[in-house]
Structure 1
Amino acid sequence: MTHDCSNTISFDMRYPFDARGVAKRFRHAAIFGALDSLNAGETMRFLNDHDPLPLLAQLQQRYGDNIEISYVSREPGQIALDFKRV
């Protein structure tokens, strides 16, 4: 039996990423790695404890028009964004 990590297993092509469980020193690297692994049309639902404004600027700089960013929730302590690869 072979394993192919590139197979999409989410029917709505949305994958959760809860940054609150990742050590702060590894967060940005983990986020970039997760986004780099998305195929066009797939979305990462990003959860965080604070509004990641510096990260959003980095994402725009790195991905430009190849990523769509939209807020799902801006409740204090419960930030949720969708990062969609275009």
Structure 2
Amino acid sequence: MSHDCSTPTIADGTYVFDARGIARRFRHAAIFGALDALHPGERMRFCNDHDPLPLLSQITNVFGRKVNIEYVSRAPGEIVIDFIVAA
């Protein structure tokens, strides 16, 4: 399955967040800020070069059931995760 994380998909409530273009020291703050800005029913499609397991744990601890996590792709070098804000 191929994913183009450079093209925003907003019509269906999905916002693309490509972490690969953000300096590592700013990534977590940017991701948490983006998740906090989403409205119920919206989703953020997160693209990264590695599986961010510590980040996912932090998101679960901070947001709990408010944010659902769904993998779209776990291909090496092409991790795509949808973060969906519960309605």
- Deviation per CA, 1:30-68: give whole Å up to 9, x if none: 000000000000000000000000000000000001011
Where in structure 2 are there 5+ consecutive unaligned residues? 1-8
Report the alpha carbon displacement of residue 10 of structure 1 after superposing the two structures with TM: 2.0
Mark the structure with the bigger radius of gyration. Answer: 1
Report the alpha carbon displacement of residue 81 of structure 1 after superposing the two structures with TM: 0.3
The equivalent residue for 2:69 is 69
What is the TM-score when the length of structure 1 is the normalising length?
A: 0.89
What is the TM-score when the length of structure 2 is the normalising length?
A: 0.88
Letter matched to residue 71 of structure 2: Y
Where in structure 1 are there 5+ consecutive unaligned residues? 1-8
Distance in 1 between residues matched to 2:40 and 2:11, nearest whole Å? 15
Runs of 4+ in 1 over 3 A off after TM superposition: none
Aligned length: 78
RMSD: 1.1
Letter matched to residue 57 of structure 2: A
- The alignment-based identity, stated in percent, is 60
